[in-house]
Structure 1
Amino acid sequence: MTLTKSLLLGSAAALLAAAGAQAADLPSRKSAPVEYVRVCDAYGAGFYWIPGTDTCLKVGGRVRIDTWYTPSKNSVTLRSAGGPNYAGLAAPAGTSIAPFQSSNGIDQLGWYARGLLMMDARTQSAWGTVQTVVTLRLAVQTGLAQTSPFGATAAPAAGATGATIEAAYIRFAGFTIGDAASNFTFLPPYQYHSMFTPGYPNGIRQFAYTATFGGGFSATIALENRGDSSTTTTANSLGFNPTGLVGSTATAVGPQRLPAVVGNVRVDQGWGSAMLSGAVLQNTANFATPAINAVTNGLGPLMTKTGWAVGFGLKINLPMLAAGDSLHAWVGYSNGALDYVGFSNANENSAVTANYLGGYLRGDRSMTIFCTTAACIPNSETTKAFNLAGIFTHYWTPSLRSNFIASWIRITPGAVTQNTDWTNGGLSQATAWDIKHNLVWSPVRNFDIGLELSYARLSQRLTGLAGALPTTPACTVANPQCLASVNSNNWTGRLRVERTF
């Protein structure tokens, strides 16, 4: 029996040894190592190494839903681009824009839903960090969110969808090249409804260089494409000039010959931030008269005028009140550069959605062109503007905060423009201001539910019609101007739900 067991065990061992020898002779394939996505903590939270590269990537986004109510107003709107004085509802010959709009045809509600996809890729190099940023915005909007009610039509705006690039730039060795925030502006976009301050919600194409010094100091010089301003109108003309004999016309936006030169000096430290900024640009317009139009298709002599703007912004952190509390302030002045101080459109600031005051403002020109004699010798003058704004942020609790916001602007056209009847393109000095408060609850980090109430007021004395628009009796179709007030006001209630990830 013992002999039998020994034989069996010996046979099994021999078989195993033979099997092992044959397995060793078979070809083998080593599995490739699994490369997992790794956290990249060199640039802050949310970055990961792209497998197989030396680049870190952060992918995020935002969903924002807004709805708001603004009472509609009867309004005096845009004037003729070259027609005679008018008082009726019909549009002047050669234009589809009527001087008066009834509140019955103007939306009171606005809705939009926006989705943002944001990508930030960074690679370390011998020249420092190379950063590439892309932000794509998709939106669907209706009513007041889509168009101003003071344009060529007052019909309620139908729904529309669109795609916009908010940012697309490369930063390398101090240079920023592409579509990024303007180097002139300072205030954060805490408001839901409009402020009388500059805004570039879609960024501005630029070629900029930033030098960083010690102690939080930096300086930037940039060439910016002013055509990216959502409110820009370089020049406009007086339809009939003080001579009363001939009118001039101008292309709505003159040809771009030179970029805007923008610079700032900034400091960021524990107490807050401060920035002094400036901009210099060229206003252009093609001057024309009916006689010129007949032979040149409306392109006459090219008019140019230099515009400039300066601004100062200040932020003070107030942790002694509550963690996260701060005060922002801004002051700006421009001469021929409305885009960099306020806005440039009728009754509204379309950069951040309109106040829809219903009066008459028309700050739509940095330069006005006109005839100085009956023979129509061309001349021009610039529009000046001065504004102030402030934002106080207070955290009642870590998840509940308030923003108290105010802004004020005064627009002063040139002397000839002020002495021309408003129906012929004349403008008078105008003052507008607004105040607003939004209360924001964040039940979860990066998830906000906010409600804002705002009030805006416009004061303006129009030239012509005995010096001002009548505001009492005799309101008829033949005399609709009495339905509009040049000391108009309006309010807005706005709800926002927003999630950033």
Structure 2
Amino acid sequence: MSPKSLLLTSAALLMAATGARAADAVVVAEPEPVEYVRVCDVFGEGFFYIPGTETCLRISGYIRYRIGATNDDGLILDADGNVIGGDTPNFNGFAGDGWNKQTRARVNIDTRSETEWGTLQAFIRLQANWGQADEDVNPFADGPVAIDQGWLQIGGLRMGYTNSAYAETIFGVTNGGSFSDGALWYSDQQRHLIQYNFGGETGLFGVLSLEDDALAGDGYVPDVVGLLGYQGGWGAIWARAGYDNARGDLPDTDDEFLGLDSELEESGFGAQLAAQINVPNTNTSFRVMGWYADSDNAYSTFSSYGGISGGFGAAEWSALAAVNQQFTEKFSASTGFQYFSNFYEAFSDEKTGLDGYSIDLSLVYEPVTNFEIRAEGNYDKVDDFDGTVSGFLWFLRRF
């Protein structure tokens, strides 16, 4: 073989070997495309799609620090433990002779998706309160976290544990009493319930709610709440009624609890007629509300008198008027007055002849978005008892 032929043969063999090694080289796979979180604007601000699903999730809540005080020095009792005088129990439930402090942390978890049956929703509220320090019980223990609410809803059907329909509904205009955070007295309570809601932001709306009566298996008849109203840009008008199957939930045992068993076994009802008026071309709103209760039952307004009687604090009649003024984008104020006529004895339809009233004042300043400074004060008075003042200042950051 000539030198030239040998050179060509060697070059051919080298190229073949190089090609074989190239075929055996490791090939790096292209990375999978990353599915970034997508904004879900179907249900309003703050929602995003859970990756890989069509379910929208929103996480919200707040941190709040509150400090309050009262001149309430408590009730005066005789030798047998009967209330004979003293101060009207204060609206905020504060202890006297010092500052009352509380820090609250709240987290809301809200999931929603659209189905052929309507919106499918699940809601969980986690909450912890650090209350007033007590030198006898670890004064700086962490606040216990509890599930304050948990419910699911599909279309207009809602089930779970949440606010009673006699206190709040999905139609926010019907919620509470006055415009303050405390909102005066309006039967604020939570229940296990199953309810149906119909209507929207305008026009006719209503709620029918079957609610747990706390009988723990002793009976099959639930409490019932119904609400019907009409809403427009001018405001709203509504009526609601509640049937309390049993006025209390104490054991059904003869001669116990001061002979209240016969009263606790009785049913009762309450009713409300209310309206909110939004004054055109202003930032002013008015509320007027009236309640009737046939006895001291869960569907009344409640009141400070409950701290005296040991019952709900129901009055035969109650009326409330309140006004809210939004002075600027950052500052608003409201005040309300509520009158109670003829309180009932605890869990009964026996009238005491005592009347009472409550007044509130609320000032709200939001210097920056989602940061609120609020000051509220209340005055409460029941006949034959001294009036009390209570109030608080809080700082709250929403997210």
TM-score (norm: length of structure 2):
0.78
What is residue 281 of structure 2 aligned with on the other side? 320
Which sections of structure 1, spanning at least 5 residues, go unmatched? Answer: 1-10, 78-86, 147-154, 228-233, 235-252, 349-360, 367-382, 419-425, 460-485
What are the residue-to-residue correspondences of 1:3-402 with 2, within 5 Å? Answer: 22=22, 26-76=26-76, 87-88=78-79, 92=80, 99=83, 106-142=96-132, 161-185=143-167, 186-188=174-176, 190-193=179-182, 195-200=184-189, 203-212=190-199, 216-227=203-214, 257-283=220-246, 286=252, 288-289=254-255, 304-322=265-283, 325-336=284-295, 338-343=297-302, 348=307, 361-362=308-309, 364=311, 385-402=316-333
Corresponding residue to 1:492 among 376, 385, 390: 390
Shift of 1:18: 5.7
What SS is found at the alignment partner of 2:187? coil
Query: Structure 1 counterpart of 2:268, which letter?
Result: G
Query: Superposition RMSD on alpha carbons, in Å?
Result: 3.9
Match of 1:371 in 2: none
| Cα drift, residue 215 of structure 1 | 5.0
Q: CA deviation at 1:208?
A: 0.4
Shift of 1:115: 0.6
The answer for the alignment partner of 2:4 in structure 1 is none
- Which structure 2 residue ranges, 5 or more long, are not aligned? 1-10, 88-94, 168-173
Structure 2 partner of 1:356: none
Query: Quick one: distance in 1 between partners of 2:196 and 2:110?
Result: 19
In the TM superposition, residue 121 of structure 1 has moved relative to its aligned partner by: 0.3
Aligned twin of 1:352? none
CA contact (8 A) 1:309 1:337 kept: no
What is the DSSP-based 3-state SS (H/G/I as helix, E as strand, rest coil) of the residue aligned with 2:355? strand
One-letter code aligned to 2:158: T
Question: Does the 8 Å contact 2:176/2:183 carry over to 1?
Answer: no
The DSSP-based 3-state class of the residue aligned with 2:65 is strand
Closer, same or farther: CA 129–73 of 1 in aligned 2, 3 Å: same
Distance 2:164 2:55 in 1: 27
Residue 375 (structure 2) pairs with residue 456 (structure 1): no
> Match of 1:396, as an amino acid?
F
Q: CA deviation at 1:273?
A: 2.1
The 1-side partners of 2:32 and 2:316 are apart by 67
Aligned-pair identity (%): 21
Matched residues in 2 for 1:310 and 1:279: separation?
6
- How big is the shift at 1:110? 1.5
Could you tell me how far apart the structure 1 residues matched to 2:201 and 2:48 are?
30
Structure 1 residue 175, shift from structure 2 partner = 0.4
Query: How many pairs does the alignment contain?
Result: 366
| Residues 20-48 of structure 1 deviation map (CA, whole Å, 9 limit, x = unaligned) | 99258755523211010010111111000
1-structure distance, mates of 2:161, 2:264? 29
Provide the C-alpha distance between the structure 1 equivalents of 2:392 and 2:138, rounded to a whole number of angstroms: 19
Taking the aligned partners of 2:53 and 2:209, their CA distance within structure 1 comes to 32
- Tell me the alpha carbon deviations over residues 83-121 of structure 1, each in whole angstroms, 9 at most, x when there is no partner: xxxx43xxx4xxxx5757989x95443211101000110
**TM-score, normalised to structure 1's length?**
0.64
Cα deviation, residue 188, structure 1:
3.9
Q: Cα deviation per residue 1:326-374 (whole Å; 9 max; x = unaligned)?
A: 22222111113532222267564xxxxxxxxxxxx426169xxxxxxxx
Post-superposition shift, 1:180? 2.2
The CA distance in 1 between the partners of 2:180 and 2:218, in whole Å, is: 33
Name the residue aligned to 1:413. 344
CA deviation vs aligned residue, 1:249-289 (integer Å, no higher than 9, x gap): xxxx9956532111111222211222211111222663624
Partner of 1:6: none
Query: Counterpart of 1:304 in structure 2: which amino acid?
Result: E
1:439 aligns with 2:363: yes
How far apart are 1:445 and its partner, in Å? 1.6
Instruction: Report the CA distance shift for 1:312/1:301 in structure 2 as closer, same or farther (over 3 A).
Output: closer
Deviation at 1:183, TM superposition (A): 1.5
1:488 Cα offset (Å): 1.5
Is the Cα contact below 8 Å between 2:333 and 2:362 reproduced in 1? yes
| Counterparts of 2:269 and 2:374, CA distance in 1 | 37
Q: Is the 8 A contact 1:142 1:159 kept in 2?
A: no
Letter of the structure 2 residue corresponding to residue 398 of structure 1: E
Counterparts in 2 of 1:269 and 1:24: CA distance versus 1, 3 Å: farther
SS of the residue 1:183 aligns to = coil
Relative to structure 1, the CA distance from residue 62 to residue 364 in structure 2 (aligned partners, 3 Å threshold; closer, same or farther) is: same
Cα distance, 1:169 vs. partner? 0.7
Amino acid at match of 1:342: T
Preserved contact between residue 338 and residue 344 of structure 1 (Cα < 8 Å): no
